[in-house]
Homo-oligomer: A and B are copies of this chain.
């Protein structure tokens, strides 16, 4: 299959572009992350793949979060959150945090621990990066959070959980 959609192609082209965009985003594979935070002392977490490295100086990442989520409402400049990059055997955790389950129940599975400030992290994730919110930009339905890394937990070996085309995957090296 090979096709191009443009907004000017026909009167009904904007829905076509929206559909093509959804199909295109299914093709953009990404490491699966659980983004965690606190709201009035209660733990919050969501599954996300819209996470990327931003700058090495300062060490920073960004994550795009739906503005209607409770985690988005809990984050503000100076507040902290954690990006947990999942291991290949943590698909069940990804599914739980990507579901409609209430927040308190989401943390029943997984070996959760807390940084000094109470932010939850998964010590058996591939890595956990505690960040301070150092910028927020709203665009469309989402808010971009710039996170300045403050503490990092790492594990080996490298065997990530990757999401693409609506399913979880593992990696194998290109021959």
Q: Which residues of A contact B (CB under 8 A)?
A: 1-7, 17-18, 20-31, 33, 49-62, 64, 85, 88, 91, 123, 126-127, 129, 134-135, 137, 139-142, 144, 146, 149-156, 158, 160-162, 164-165, 167-174
The interface residues of chain B lying within 8 Å CB-to-CB of A149 are 17, 21, 24
CB distance from A77 to the nearest CB of B (A): 13
Q: Which of B139, B158, B172 contacts A54 (CB 8 A)?
A: B139
The interface residues of chain B lying within 8 Å CB-to-CB of A2 are 123, 153-155
CB distance from A89 to the nearest CB of B (A): 9
The interface residues of chain B lying within 8 Å CB-to-CB of A4 are 151-153
The count of identical subunits is 2
Main secondary structure of the interface of A (DSSP, over half): strand
Expressed in whole angstroms, the Cα–Cα distance for A174 and B88 within the complex equals 8
On whether the beta carbons of A27 and B158 are closer than 8 Å, the reply is yes
On whether the beta carbons of A28 and B53 are closer than 8 Å, the reply is yes
Given that A29-B31, A135-B139, A140-B56 are contacting pairs, would A24 and B127 also be in contact in the complex, using a CB cutoff of 8 Å? yes
The interface residues of chain B lying within 8 Å CB-to-CB of A123 are 2
The interface residues of chain B lying within 8 Å CB-to-CB of A167 are 173-174
On whether the beta carbons of B29 and A52 are closer than 8 Å, the reply is no
On whether the beta carbons of B50 and A150 are closer than 8 Å, the reply is no
Tell me the nearest residue of chain B to A9, going by C-beta: B151
Expressed in whole angstroms, the Cα–Cα distance for A55 and B168 within the complex equals 21
